[in-house]
């Protein structure tokens, strides 16, 4: 739930579920996909040890994870995004609970099954002919490669190495990037997929998956 919004020096500033959040220019501004995950996180009363936010952007999901996790790691390949997340972590006085890392998915994390919960809202829009005219830093925010699956497929191939057997993944998927392929792949890997929420638009449908071991 957005409590308020205002503009400060070319950055957008919002208050979301009590958290103060500033979104830097050229960092992904929270949208329906972000809010689907954030709203579900807000509904949880669990107490986790470790949480991981992959593709943290401005840090909105990182902050939401601090409500239910003792320790949170936030990762993004964009240096601007990691700076933005750290800014918001500090703005909310949560430096002791959060570590912000610049990295490509989970390549900068040791492959140990320590995470109780992982959030991932990947860029999922397929590349089009006009994307070649967009700055790479901005393209990373929404473009998931030729078929929209570049990052999600890489994530699916590796996340099991860092997730606790009792852990869960909150994964945002779109009908534009073949969400059914994600379901098939996870099922073949021995995972259970629950559709927590979905939202329809005239051009696509968004799904929030909860992934756990079957």
Neighbours of 145 (CB within 10 A): 17
2-213 sits in which CATH class? alpha beta
pTM: 0.89
Q: How many CA atoms lie within 13 A of 116 on its CB side?
A: 13
3-state percent breakdown (helix, strand, coil) of the chain, nearest 5: 30, 35, 35
Contacts with 206 (C-beta within 8 Å, 6 or more apart), sequence order: 32, 33, 36, 172, 173, 174, 175, 198, 199, 200
First vs last Cα of the chain: how many Å apart?
Answer: 32
The domain locations on the chain are 2-213
Question: Sign of the CA dihedral 167, 70, 65, 138?
Answer: negative
- Reading the chain (214 residues) residue by residue, the pLDDT tens digits are 545 545 456 788 999 999 999 999 889 899 999 999 999 999 999 999 999 999 999 999 999 999 999 999 999 999 999 999 999 999 999 999 999 999 998 988 889 999 999 999 988 555 545 445 444 555 554 444 445 577 889 999 999 999 999 999 999 998 888 889 999 999 999 999 999 999 998 877 999 999 999 7
d(CA 169, CA 210): 6
Distance CA 200, CA 203 (A): 8
Placement of tokens 């933005």 in the chain: 84
The C-alpha atoms of residue 31 and residue 76 are separated, in whole angstroms, by 17
């Amino acid at each position: 739930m957005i409590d308020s919004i205002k503009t400060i020096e070319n950055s957008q500033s919002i208050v979301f579920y009590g958290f103060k959040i500033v979104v830097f220019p050229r960092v992904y501004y929270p949208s329906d996909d972000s809010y689907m995950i954030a709203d579900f996180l807000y509904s949880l009363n669990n107490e986790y040890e470790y949480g991981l936010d992959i593709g943290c952007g401005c840090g909105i999901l990182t902050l939401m994870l601090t409500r239910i996790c003792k320790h949170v790691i936030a990762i993004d390949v964009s240096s601007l995004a990691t700076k933005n997340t750290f800014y918001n972590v500090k703005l909310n006085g949560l430096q002791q609970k959060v570590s912000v890392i610049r990295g490509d998915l989970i390549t900068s994390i040791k492959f140990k099954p320590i995470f109780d919960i992982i959030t991932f809202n990947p860029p999922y829009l397929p590349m089009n002919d006009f994307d070649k005219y967009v700055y790479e830093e901005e393209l990373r925010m929404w473009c998931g490669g030729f078929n929209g699956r570049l990052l999600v497929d890489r994530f699916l191939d590796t996340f099991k190495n860092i997730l606790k057997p009792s852990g869960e993944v909150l994964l945002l998927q779109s009908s534009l990037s073949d969400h059914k392929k994600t379901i098939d792949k996870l099922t073949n890997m021995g995972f259970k997929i629950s559709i927590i929420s979905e939202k329809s638009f005239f051009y696509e449908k968004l799904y929030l998956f909860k992934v756990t071991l079957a």
